[in-house]
Structure 1
């Protein structure tokens, strides 16, 4: 496993990061066990967010009581605040939950615009003040919209950019990595498994390992998942003809009009869980589980019949998907599975 330097932050870590969103779904005891095993196995980069319920608290429980020296791990977290008041509230809460006196990279979460000094919001000024106080070391931003991410990379204001990148990425999205490298901006790759659509960890790691200045953060919930990523610390997959052929076949199947699950389209006017319902057909095929056919999900999928075609979701989708059309197609496929006309494979 090679070490990478995250742009001008100077942060140097193995190119194998821990995405801590999923640990909010497990017990505190299990989360601490998984996080400490990740550290013991060589992981040093841990990414969370104030929005991930108790994820920060679990990181604090794992690392905040002397299990590791604070300087030996990198902790990044995020604030979804839109006002300076909420910014400071979030920051103090994160520091408390994480049991730390500073955050290595503090990021604006799901940015819809590039906050800048003097723009009237006061948001970027908050970052500067927090950095001056020693409460954060570096300033970053996360986005799902390619235009916003590009602006962050070119602004000279942000030291890191976090954006969804997997082997299903478009050429324009790959160019964003090169843009960050050119501008000495660290690149944090989220959704390296495309929200569960990618199930081949070896191919995902081989793809991520091609790029310098980037660290992928794998969403890890189970110890068995962690074991897959830790196995790559000693034997990191590299791109070869076999993996390239596999990725090419995956891209042919999945590239284009599929939902990435980012949630920018939400909330729906009639309460449809668009970011899940709009990928149900793919999930049934690629990540089969009887739970998708539960009464709960049958009811949620049934809400698609109530779509009024208002177009609100269309205006917010960063991938310009024809969401109502895709929802109806997913519902049609879903009902075929329920009727037994095709199996969950």
Structure 2
């Protein structure tokens, strides 16, 4: 297993980290067990956020008494000093700690600089010792490039998978040139990529720390297996990736959910990618009465456009929903999957 140095932070951990967004969907007992098993299996970097409901609290319970053995990153969506202080204090309380290894501005709409109150809050928290390193997360490539070129942050967290564009790959290389740690989110593209071996082999080629969203022990076991059986890029894996890229590249939903809630209660982050999910997972899981009812809600779309303004990937979501519904109806009518 490669070790990754997160740039100027000097944080050095195995290239196999835990993304704790999904543990908000399981019980505290299950989450604590997952986190401790991840540590026992070799993972050392754990990523959470104030926006992930009770994820921080579960992590705090899991690592109580062993704070110095793990690296913990959290995030805030605050844009004012008051909200920043509220979020940071809540996060530290939830995690049962007096410091964070890394604190990031979450889903930044721009590169915040010394002219912005929120950036100065981050710097002051580091000066006080409540935060050891400062970073930022972004979803838009132009914003991410501005962040790297600013030299103001120690890490960047950005979507990165084997569906990455040449521009995305150049961003990762630019981080290395600027001695900036790169944390890869969406390594499975919101669940569209199902071959963990191919995903890990792709990451092994770059100075990137992937945080895999983990909800079940079976998922964790899959990632932990790579500590014992190291995977590198091969011709066979490269051929598989090329085939997958040809099928998936283009306008597709990553399932991040930032577009929600919908004004007419459409489950956008699933319905907008139904055509892919129904072909990449057991199709019967998506043809149930429940999902048929969910998909039919698309007919109620009023084209308000709110989801489009929220989408970090600037997708034409109403149009994407309608395309997925048309395909879904054809499948229900007998079109082969």
SS at match of 1:187: strand
Query: In 2 relative to 1, CA 269–33 (structure 1 residues): closer, same or farther, beyond 3 Å?
Result: closer
Residue in 1 that maps onto 2:123: 128
1:320: how far off?
4.1
Say whether residues 1:233 and 2:230 are aligned partners: no
Question: Matches of 1:313 and 1:25 in 2, distance apart?
Answer: 23
Say whether residues 1:105 and 2:102 are aligned partners: yes
Question: Matches of 1:315 and 1:237 in 2, distance apart?
Answer: 40
Residue in 2 that maps onto 1:153: 148
Residue in 2 that maps onto 1:279: 273
Alignment of 1:189-208 (within 5 A): 189-208=184-203
For residues 171-217 of structure 1, the C-alpha deviation after alignment (integer angstroms, 9 at most, x for no partner) is: 111111011111111000001001110000000000011102x2100
SS at match of 1:321: coil
Runs of 4+ aligned structure 1 residues displaced above 6 Å come to none
1:62: how far off?
0.5
Query: For the Cα contact (< 8 Å) 2:155–2:181, is it kept in 1?
Result: yes
Residue in 2 that maps onto 1:26: 26
Residue in 1 that maps onto 2:247: 253
Say whether residues 1:244 and 2:241 are aligned partners: no
2:68 aligned to 68, 71, 81, which one?
71
Unaligned runs of 5+ in 1: none
Query: For the Cα contact (< 8 Å) 1:196–1:287, is it kept in 2?
Result: no
Residue in 1 that maps onto 2:80: 83
Question: Matches of 1:263 and 1:305 in 2, distance apart?
Answer: 20
Equivalent residue pairs, number: 337
Q: TM-score, normalised by structure 1?
A: 0.92
Residue in 2 that maps onto 1:46: 46
For residues 269-318 of structure 1, the C-alpha deviation after alignment (integer angstroms, 9 at most, x for no partner) is: 54433322110111111123655344443333222212334445445544
Unaligned runs of 5+ in 2: none
Residue in 2 that maps onto 1:176: 171
Say whether residues 1:96 and 2:93 are aligned partners: yes
Residue in 2 that maps onto 1:188: 183
Question: Matches of 2:219 and 2:197 in 1, distance apart?
Answer: 12
Query: In 2 relative to 1, CA 29–268 (structure 1 residues): closer, same or farther, beyond 3 Å?
Result: closer
Query: For the Cα contact (< 8 Å) 2:201–2:232, is it kept in 1?
Result: yes
Residue in 1 that maps onto 2:137: 142
